[in-house]
Structure 1
Amino acid sequence: MTGYNDQPSTGACVAFAPPTFRVATYNVHKCRGLDRRVRPARIVEVLREIDADIVALQEVFGADGKSQTFDQAREIAQALGYDLCFGENRRLNGSGYGNAILSRFPLHRAQNYDLSWRWCERRGCLRADIVLDGGFLLHVFNVHLGTSYVERRHQARRLVSAEILSNAELNGARIVLGDFNEWTRGLTSKLLAVHLQSADIRSHLRRPRTYPGILPVVHLDHIYYDSRLQLEKLELHRSHTALIASDHLPLVADFRWASA
């Protein structure tokens, strides 16, 4: 992947200052709200409120190239004017179902990794390579892990493997975000902490729980990031529409590219 800057120039003349950007992770629950109505337009409204540059969606329907049925991911992306990549993990109701990444910046590569384990529900990690202003390369990994403790241990080892997060071809900064279904400090948290920094909600939000949105009892949604990035702000978006649109609330983070 030549032609990208993985860190800002240290020369006397710098064409672009290190960029700042906003990311969000949002499990949209098939766009089905707490009122049981399927309304992608409400998800669009929530994302407009957040105004993130990059959005990771979980539990969303997307097109498989054969049918436009239930193509929620494309409907949301087009309404916002974002680039889109979709990672199908399984078929549901005749349509593709999985994770999506939306971006204001150009998407230059996308790849979906299978994290499934044995008989459990098909799970995946969607990677998108995104070029920010100034040519800064960002690798975004959108993750939705399983609900079983043993299942997540398998998925954690695969996630940090040489094929995915420890891939020698990655020369940009990495962000891993999504629904980890891990509310205690399990193997996933421990392994990711070796490679990346955690956006600690206890430090930024003064609370240990984020799910469900109306009455939080556990913390499922996480963001991990490369040391080349500096976390400026972390927040849980709790607007009136967000409280109804899905059973999860969007977790939003502002980053600055750290100086070389």
Structure 2
Amino acid sequence: MRLLLYNIRYGIGLGAGSHWPVPGVGYMTGIRSNLNPITAFIKGQDPDIVGLVEVDGGSIRSRRINQAETIAHALGHYSVYQCKYGEGSLNQLLPIVRKQGNAFLAAPHVHGARFHYFDTGIKRLIIELELAECTIYLVHLSLKYRHRHAQLHALHNFVTASRKPVLIAGDFNTLWGTDEIFLFMKATGLRNANTLGLPSYPSRAPRKELDFVLYGDGINITEFSIPDVQFSDHLPLICDFRVERNSLAAA
């Protein structure tokens, strides 16, 4: 099974059109045509599951196009999308911002998709995708160190409560890479699919390991790569894995 994780930066790209003299304006305007190469790249990788971080759900920035649904349609995938801010957050009321979310696209039969929310941080969404063989969580952790570690504590509870093999994928915003999540990984027994600690940010000259695919017992990683494509400020992660049969019998 192939999992592709990609923070697509709402499809605004890295070209001159996204660099405005006023900070943040690029996030409000976007470049509609940039979604086409992103879609073509993802389709070319033939993924079974796609985890999209920073995807536009249909604001004026994307010309009212739900980027998750558009990419899913091109792949022939099922899609599930949700705003990444808490249900009671004021961000849910703001134009454009309320359409900023994360999404799963999946080819295999989905047994269930659920939304959970962290108690701390601005970006609070956890998407749980339950497949027949395993459970995958998609997250975009807080920029604040204190909030980020509270969120990791909550993820620990999800992992330990799961009856199926678990993967966690997402943008962890870990400025110190795996060093920052070392204790979390020890406590949960999760391992990093990126065994070489390859950086994924910024895409033009990667220096930081912000994006992760973590996996637990019952999961075997068969291939991992970070393609050098610059359609976003993050590089995508591609992880091929299989679920051990004895772990399914135990579940």
**2:191 — aligned with what?**
198
**2:223 — aligned with what?**
233
1:33 aligns with 2:13: yes
**2:241 — aligned with what?**
255
User: Kindly, what percent of the aligned residue pairs are identical?
Assistant: 25
* Local SS of the residue matching 1:166: helix
- Asked if the contact 1:63/1:95 (under 8 Å) is kept, the reply is no
| Cα distance in 1 for residues equivalent to 2:39 and 2:174 | 27
**Larger strand share, 1 or 2:** 1
| Cα distance in 2 for residues equivalent to 1:89 and 1:202 | 28
| Greater relative contact order structure (CA < 8 Å, 6+ sep) | 1
Q: Deviations over 1:115-157 (max 9, x none)?
A: 252xx423221101123xxxxx221100100111111111111
**Cα distance change of structure 1 residues 215 and 94 upon mapping to structure 2, 3 Å threshold:** closer
Query: What TM-score results when the alignment is normalised by the length of structure 1?
Result: 0.77
Q: CA deviation at 1:56?
A: 0.6
* Local SS of the residue matching 1:30: helix
Q: CA deviation at 1:202?
A: 4.4
- Asked if the contact 2:55/2:100 (under 8 Å) is kept, the reply is yes
1:45 aligns with 2:34: no
- Asked if the contact 1:87/1:111 (under 8 Å) is kept, the reply is no
Aligned residues: 219
Q: Deviations over 1:94-124 (max 9, x none)?
A: 653211011110122111111252xx42322
| Cα distance in 1 for residues equivalent to 2:36 and 2:202 | 21
Q: Deviations over 1:148-180 (max 9, x none)?
A: 11111111111112xx2232xx32221101100
**Cα distance change of structure 1 residues 146 and 106 upon mapping to structure 2, 3 Å threshold:** same
Query: What TM-score results when the alignment is normalised by the length of structure 2?
Result: 0.79
What RMSD in Å do the two structures reach over aligned CA positions? 2.2
Q: CA deviation at 1:187?
A: 5.4
Unmatched 5+ stretches in structure 2: 19-30, 86-91, 247-251
**Cα distance change of structure 1 residues 100 and 188 upon mapping to structure 2, 3 Å threshold:** same
**2:124 — aligned with what?**
123
